[in-house]
Chain A
Amino acid sequence: RSVDEERRIKYKAAIKIQSWFRGCRVRAYLRYLNERVIFIQKCWRGYQSRRYFRKMVETAYFIMKMNFYNEMAVRIQKRWRGYYVRKYIHNYYALKKYLEAISVNNEIVRNELREYVEMKENEEKRKDLEKKEKEKEYQARKMHYLLSTEQIAGIYNSPFRKSPDPMELLLRKSKPLSHKRQQVKSSFSSELYDWPTCKRPPTFSTVQPLPPIDRQKPQGPFRDTAEVLQQRYKPLEPTLRVAASINSPLKARDEMKMEEWRNRIHDNEFLPFSSYHKNEKYDPSIHRSGKYVQETYGTKHFREVQPKKWIADKVSHCIF
């Protein structure tokens, strides 16, 4: 039995040794594999990272370039915007010139307005003066009897004065008013003011003006003046012959001719002798001038077909 045990022990030891050796071999093999794999992965990772790095460098370079360009563009835009704003939007010198121009214009306008005002004032004064003059003249005409004579000095021509009063001179110049001047000279403006408020009753035109006193009745068997006037101023009622112009029959004939020409279908005269027309050729209408045949018309005949160019004999379905 100890031999068995020894054999077993040796067997087990041999197994241990073999297993350990195999293990070593396998481990070495695995180590070897690991190293190779690590090598491969190393190379691959290095390659990837280099690629990535290259990309990063490219982008960084690109960004740098873009920043540079942006900076330059900003400088250009800065200059341009400043120029543009200063020239067109907030043009200082133009604004200054504009304001000066406004001041000058204002001065001109003020001067013109002032002149206008002065002109109007002068006109008003002139109108007042004229009115006063007219009043004075009217008064002088009314009071012409106050004129001084050789014997009796008038009130305006006192002997103690060196020269007569201006009123006296006016009196000398004025013509006495006549009796017939009875119409009330109301001024234009006051008449208009009265109308709208109906303060004055409207003058009804029923009252005829009285005839003048000193007119003598006409002698003799004269006709009534109204009748005479009526006859004299009777409106003219000419007869038709007088009212129509000289060429009116000719014009009327022309008109009739035009109307008939309009209404006619053709201009050929009607000639009664039929044998006269026998030699004339007859122009047929469109219907009769062609053959009685079916024309090549319709969708079948419109399209041009070239069977030699066809790819397939039948087109069975749409391609798209």
Chain B
Amino acid sequence: NSGVMSLLRPLLLDVVPTIQQTAALALGRLANYNDALAEAVVKGNILPHLVCSLSEQNRFYKKAAAFVLRAVAKHSPQLAQAIVQSGALEMLVICLEDFDPGVKEAASWALGYIARHNSELSQAVVDAGAVPLLVLCIQEPEIALKRIAASTLSDISKHSPELAQTVVDAGAIAHLAQMILNPDAKLKRQVLSALSQIAKHSVDLAELVVEAEIFPVVLTCLKDSDEYVKKNGATLIREIAKHTPELSQLIVNAGGVAAVIDYIGSCRGTVRLPGIMMLGYVAAHSENLSMAVIVSKGIPPLCACLVEEHEDHIKAAAVWALGQAGRHSPEHARAVAVANVLPMLLAMYMDTHSSDDLQLKASIFAKRALKNILEKCTYLPALEPLLHDAPPNIMKHIVGQFSKVLPHDSKARRLFVTTGGLKKVQEIKAEPGSLLQEYINTINNCYPEEIVR
């Protein structure tokens, strides 16, 4: 702030290499601290000086210069754009070709920060020819270099399918898949996140990732001691499962559903979210798959999630997953209803129903899930408690279900009367001619006149 930039700039061009390196280091640390300082670095015209003589310098200078570029790029897309415009990308790619692993690491970290912001910057990084060099970096023996290269590839491929395709064309998937077996936890995090960013864009990319034989190795990642490894592993499985029923089938056949269910049971908080969504996607594709989810004892952990979690989006995801599992056929709905889920869903729908301005996601999903499950549910003991405190639009469905089942089942009729359901139905006021009235009439017609009164 006190004119430090103008003092440091001539030092960068000094003859003694040590001074250059230390000046670069100082600039880097300043820019790292605060984005106003990073802007000052950019405005003080320092970047061209840094960049122009980079190829002849020794490795310490290269490392320090890459550190400065990284520190500037990480704050905002505009600063990263300024770096790209000053021609730093070619220099960083030259650094990637250097022998020293520290230089490569610093260069790939800087490229990662640049590519992180948006897809134009990622495209610029790819156009500078960085991707094949990054794939080479992944194969190096140093773990830190592998980590950074994997995270850079993940940042590049997350923006668009074309960028992910470029990364795949450079042959990254095979190496990333091999590195899943590495014992280092942070490396596994980055590798799994890179694979999930690649797989999320389209079916072909997801199939390519699956062909690299990641199953069943990925399931061991779900049991790792590091939380984020588990989370990224579940994210990867989710991105693969969401595209087509065949991919979900593959995951189910490999035993992925069991692993994900155990994973949901074993952790708390936001980390659970990808696992819950994965179960929802699998159950949504077809009834056989949702039956597979139910058979693998998937419903109790989802209910536990509903009860234990307090954040809205996790609850919404759990509710959505339950809705997908239960909506296919009466057996599915029965399996979901037996786990005592319906009262919870109703409660969730009701308690934000009163405050209409909030309209939380959880309540919207709860309503949809409730409707879907109720339309197929023929398990009357689970429907009974709902009769007592449902709002009219849900009551319509519940009474409709009763009117469908009761005419055919005499035992159910007896039970209905003894548990006071008939009395409750009489108390419902409905406009004549509406669907609700028709349902009530159908129910009343099943019983002799004296009982109805």
The CA of A102 and the CA of B253, in the complex, are separated in Å by: 7
Binary flags per residue of A111-150, CB closer than 8 Å to B gives 1, else 0: 0011011001000100000000000000000000000000
Least Cβ–Cβ distance between A230 and chain B, in angstroms: 25
Q: Is B144 an interface residue (CB 8 A)?
A: yes
A109 close to chain B: CB less than 8 A: yes
B28 touching A109 by the CB < 8 A rule?
Answer: no
Interface residues on B, range: 35 or more
| A interface, over-half SS | helix
Quick check: is A204 within 8 A (CB to CB) of the other chain? yes
Given the complex, which residues of A lie within 8 Å of B259, measured CB to CB? 109-110, 113
Given contacts A196-B148, A201-B22, A202-B63, contact A109 B255 (CB under 8 A): yes
Q: Is A195 an interface residue (CB 8 A)?
A: yes
Specify which chain B residues have a CB less than 8 angstroms from the CB of A98 in the assembled complex: 288, 292
Which one of B101-109, B172-180, B415-423, B433-441 is at the interface?
B101-109
Residues 163 to 195 of chain A near chain B (Cβ within 8 Å): 192-193, 195
Chain A residues within an 8 Å CB radius of B288? 95, 98
**Chain B positions 228-261 with a Cβ under 8 Å from a chain A Cβ:** 252-255, 257-259
Please give, as numbers and ranges, the residues of chain A lying within 8 Å of B144 by CB-CB distance. Answer: 192-193, 195-196
Least CB distance from A206 to B in Å reads 8
On whether A103 and B296 interact (CB within 8 A), knowing A192-B142, A196-B144, the answer reads: yes
Within 8 A of A (CB), among B144-185: 144, 148
Residues in B with CB closer than 8 Å to A110 are 255, 258-259, 262
Residues of A close to B25: CB separation below 8 A = 198, 201
Task: Give chain B residues whose Cβ lies under 8 Å from the Cβ of A57.
Answer: none
Q: Is the CB of B255 within 8 A of A108?
A: yes
B34-74 toward A: CB 8 Å interface, digit per residue (1/0)?
A: 00000000000000000000000000100110010000000
Query: Across the interface, do B105 and A113 meet the contact criterion of CB distance under 8 Å?
Result: no
Which B residue's beta carbon lies closest to that of A192? Answer: B144
Contacts of A204 in B (CB 8 A): 18, 60
Q: Give the chain B neighbours of A256 by CB distance below 8 A.
A: none
Q: When the two chains form the complex, which single residue of A99, A116, A198 contacts B295, counting CB atoms closer than 8 Å?
A: A99
A49 at the interface (CB under 8 A from B): no
Flag whether A106 is at the interface (Cβ < 8 A): yes
> Is B220's CB under 8 angstroms from A195's CB?
no
Complex Cα distance, B219 from A88, in Å, reads 32
Number of chain A interface residues as a range: 20 to 34
Contacts of B63 in A (CB 8 A): 198, 202
CB < 8 Å neighbour of A106 from B64, B105, B258, B291 = B258
CB-CB under 8 A for A116 and B220, given A196-B106, A198-B28, A198-B64:
yes
Q: Chain A residues with Cβ under 8 A from B292's Cβ?
A: 98-99, 102
Name which of B102, B223, B258, B262 has the most chain A CB atoms within 10 A of its CB. Answer: B258
A105 interface residue per 8 A CB criterion: yes
Q: Which residues of A contact B28 (CB under 8 A)?
A: 198
| Cα distance, A113 to B261, chains bound together (Å) | 12
When C-beta atoms are compared, the residue in chain A nearest to B216 turns out to be A109
Contact assessment for B291 and A202 in the assembled complex, using a CB-CB cutoff below 8 Å: no
| Neighbouring A residues of B252 by C-beta, 8 Å | 102
CB A253 to nearest CB in B, in angstroms, measures 45
Q: Taking CB as reference atom, which chain A residue is nearest B68?
A: A198
In the complex, chain A residues whose CB is within 8 Å of the CB of B295: 99, 102-103
Instruction: Assess whether B363 is interfacial by the CB under 8 Å rule.
Output: no
Complexed CA–CA distance, A109 and B288 (Å): 20
With contacts A103-B295, A109-B255, A110-B262 taken as known, whether A195 is within 8 angstroms of B223 at the C-beta atoms is: no
CB distance from A269 to the nearest CB of B (A): 58
Alpha-carbon separation in the docked complex, A110 to B219 (Å): 10
Which residues of B, 281-314, contact A by the 8 Å Cβ criterion?
288, 291-292, 295-296
Name the residue on B nearest A107 (C-beta): B258
Q: B220: which of A107, A113, A196, A202 is its contact (CB, 8 Å)? A: A113
Distance in angstroms between the alpha carbons of A114 and B255 in the assembled complex: 14
Contacts of A107 in B (CB 8 A): 258
Query: In the complex, A117 Cα to B288 Cα: how many Å?
Result: 31
| Distance in Å: Cβ of B108 to nearest Cβ of chain A | 10
* B21 within 8 Å of A (CB atoms): yes
When the two chains form their complex, are residues B223 and A106 in contact, meaning their CB atoms are under 8 A apart? no
Task: Return the contact of A113 from the options B142, B148, B223 (Cβ within 8 A).
Answer: B223
> Which residues of chain B are within 8 angstroms of A113 by Cβ–Cβ distance?
219-220, 222-223, 259, 262
Instruction: Determine the distance from Cα of A110 to Cα of B254 in the docked complex, in whole angstroms.
Output: 11
Q: Does B225 contact A (CB under 8 A)?
A: yes
Q: What residues of chain A lie closer than 8 Å to B219, measured between beta carbons?
A: 109, 113
A192 to B146, CA, bound (A): 12
The residue in chain B whose Cβ has the minimal distance to the Cβ of A102 is: B292
Q: Cβ of B296: which chain A residues have Cβ within 8 Å of it?
A: 102-103, 106
In the bound complex, CA of A103 to CA of B18 (Å) = 66
Q: Tell whether B212 is near chain A: CB-to-CB under 8 Å.
A: no
When distances are taken between beta carbons in the complex, the residues of chain B under 8 Å from A108 are: 255
B143 is an interface residue with CB less than 8 A from chain A:
yes
Q: How far is the CA of A299 from the CA of B142 in the complex (A)?
A: 80
Give which listed residue, B60, B102, B255, contacts A105 with CB less than 8 A: B255
Residues of B within 8 A of A202 (CB): 21, 60, 63-64
CA distance A113 to B254 in the complex (A): 13
Q: Which residue of A lies closest to B261 (CB)?
A: A106
Which B residues lie within 8 Å of A99 (CB)?
291-292, 295
Assess the B258–A116 pair: CB atoms within 8 A.
Answer: no
Bound-state Cα–Cα, A195 to B102, Å: 7
Closest CB-CB distance, A98 to chain B, in whole Å?
A: 7
Residues 27-64 (chain A) with a chain B CB within 8 angstroms: none
> Which residues on the B side are within 8 Å of A114 (C-beta)?
223
Of A102, A114, A117, A193, the most chain B CB neighbours within 10 A belong to A102
0 or 1 for each of B81-105: is its CB under 8 Å from A? (1 = yes): 0000000000000000000001001
Separation of A265 and B267 alpha carbons in the complex (Å): 85
Question: Whose C-beta in chain A lies nearest to the C-beta of B109?
Answer: A196
User: How many angstroms from the CA of A209 to the CA of B307 in the assembled complex?
Assistant: 66
Q: List 14 A-B contacts (CB under 8 A).
A: A102-B252, A106-B296, A109-B219, A109-B254, A109-B258, A110-B255, A110-B258, A113-B222, A114-B223, A192-B143, A195-B102, A198-B25, A198-B64, A201-B25
6 closest A-B pairs by CB: A109-B255, A106-B258, A192-B144, A202-B60, A99-B295, A105-B255
The residues of A with any CB-CB pair to B shorter than 8 Å are: 95, 98-99, 102-103, 105-110, 113-114, 116-117, 120, 124, 192-193, 195-196, 198, 201-202, 204
